[in-house]
Amino acid sequence: MPGVSSFRTTLLRTARGSSAGLLAGFSALAVAELTAALVRPAAGPVTVVGGAVVDRTPAAVKDFAIRTFGEDDKIVLQVGILLLLALFAVVLGVVSLRYRRAGAAGVLVFGVVGAAAALSRPDSAGAGDALPSVLGALAAAAVLYGLAGPAGKAAPVGSTSGDTGTGSGWSRRGFLTAAAGTAAAATGTGAAGRALSGRRGRGAVASRDGLVLPAPASSAPAVPAGARPGVPGISAFTTPNREFYRVDTALVVPEVDAGAWRLRIRGKGIARPRSYTLAQLLARPLIERDITLTCVSNEVGGPYVGTARWLGVPLAGLLAECGVRAPSKGGRADQLVARSVDGMTLGSPVEDVMDGRDAMLAVGMNGEPLPFAHGYPVRMLVPGLYGYVSACKWITEIELTTFDAYDPYWVERKWARRAPIKTQSRIDTPKPFARPAAGTVVIAGVAWAQHRGIARVEVRIDDGPWNDADLAAQHTLDTWRQWSYRWQAATGGHTLTVRATDGTAAVQTEERARTVPDGASGWHSVFVTVP
């Protein structure tokens, strides 16, 4: 039955081509990983291609990704890149059985793409960043070329001579041996890369473990018991570090060794640039403050908001020492651009930073050095401004400039230049579609309008009147405020809605706005059924 045997041959060929392709791809990643560990861990091909994708993703898609995948968005992206790579590897592997040189050449194209992505990264450290992708592609091309079999010995398709019937010059046993050898070599190379980058990371971990935070010169006032009355189901007043939301573009969390870290301050109004070590910053009088941080990508009712006790260097004083003056005091710079070790840029109004609020360079979060994911060793915070215009993590440079002269990262991507936090309130309990028993149901949640404070919170059942909620004590103007309302629930389906009034007497607007360009607005509602 020739039909069956040719089908079997095709199957074997495809299997052999696919495994050659996948092995080539695996070897590429292993060699690239080892090279990146030697050159710069952030220059690995998956990281740089992923980063380039993130940078070029339209705001609406990015917003969709954050909404759909939440904080797993980066893992989804990386797995996507790997799957796509695997698919191309299989195709190239099969192609290379027939067109051996073309297959190998196709692999080199990936090297070029990876190298281009590496060089286009804002934190690119120069030509060396292209090396992992280039060497990885060369390794893959060699593997593919080799596994496609010694040239000229390919048996004709349909040949009955068993062992060579899969189309390449290798005997079946020869191919399996070569494949196993390649797999072992690639695994060893990859493991060596991992071990090496792990050792690099340990310097950063040791620097963080060894950091003893000084006591603040100005402590945060204790959170009064009245500010957190302990209503079941409500967000904790202080968000634990491991539960604090994380939003950034870093595919690999930068692990900065504080020993080598410096903060440079330069730009308009600064006669000569200054540079500070972490020890110099820690030697200054520190302030400790409770501040609620919010992301502009937070939907109405969303989770990207949290409160922590931050320890840091007052930023206004540091800037004044460098010669910076607020625009209202004759300063020439109206925009402060913070730059991170991974090339992110965030721009804040100099006026806000210097108007007396507790803008700071934070070193501590809830009693420990900043976690790596939240910006170790130093991050910026400006109460009242969304994170993307103020809260630079892994900060390494502050440049004084103007809004006219420079658009930072998110502004280049259609987000607003200036973005004070909008007044928002959220129902934490009951949860959407909950089925609370009839009788007294406590509706409760949080409201925030950083640096203006919350003056009132009201709750509405269905289309009924607005009822004043019980407000917990206002801790400070820069923190959120808890509220609760005792509802006498009657049987049926009900829509619960909340709105807040801020310290300037402005009522939270009902008008729905998307998160782009300057933050979501509208009222948060929850639908429940009382059985």
**Positions in the binding site for ligand MTE (CB under 6 A):** 244-249, 293, 295, 340, 342, 344, 374, 387-388, 391-394
Partner that binds at residue 73, options ligand MTE, Mo ion, none, CB closer than 5 to 8 Å by kind: none
Partner that binds at residue 394, options ligand MTE, Mo ion, none, CB closer than 5 to 8 Å by kind: ligand MTE
Partner that binds at residue 249, options ligand MTE, Mo ion, none, CB closer than 5 to 8 Å by kind: ligand MTE
- The minimum distance between CB 304 and ligand MTE, in angstroms, equals 6
Which among 377, 393, 382, 474 is positioned nearest to 420, based on CA atoms? Answer: 382
CA 339/CA 416 separation, integer angstroms: 18
Partners of 380 in the β-ladder: 361
Residue nearest to Mo ion (CB): 295
42/186 with CB nearer ligand MTE: 42
33/397 with CB nearer ligand MTE: 397
Partner that binds at residue 24, options Mo ion, ligand MTE, none, CB closer than 5 to 8 Å by kind: none
- The minimum distance between CB 326 and ligand MTE, in angstroms, equals 23
CA 457/CA 450 separation, integer angstroms: 15
33/73 with CB nearer ligand MTE: 73
Q: Which tokens belong to 168?
A: 């390449």
Partner that binds at residue 345, options Mo ion, ligand MTE, none, CB closer than 5 to 8 Å by kind: none
- The minimum distance between CB 344 and ligand MTE, in angstroms, equals 4
- The minimum distance between CB 372 and ligand MTE, in angstroms, equals 11
Q: Max CA-CA distance within the chain? A: 92
Three-class SS state of 146: helix
Which among 451, 456, 470 is positioned nearest to 499, based on CA atoms? Answer: 456
392-404 burial code (b ≥16 CB/10 A, e <16): bbbbbbbbbbbbe
List contacts with Mo ion (CB under 5 A).
247, 295-296, 387-388
386/523 with CB nearer Mo ion: 386
- The minimum distance between CB 295 and ligand MTE, in angstroms, equals 3
Q: Which tokens belong to 213?
A: 């935070």
95/311 with CB nearer ligand MTE: 311
- The minimum distance between CB 359 and Mo ion, in angstroms, equals 17
CA 88/CA 330 separation, integer angstroms: 59
Three-class SS state of 22: helix
Partner that binds at residue 334, options ligand MTE, Mo ion, none, CB closer than 5 to 8 Å by kind: none
- The minimum distance between CB 518 and ligand MTE, in angstroms, equals 13
State the first-to-last Cα distance of the chain, in angstroms, to the nearest integer: 68
CA 79/CA 61 separation, integer angstroms: 17
Partners of 524 in the β-ladder: 498
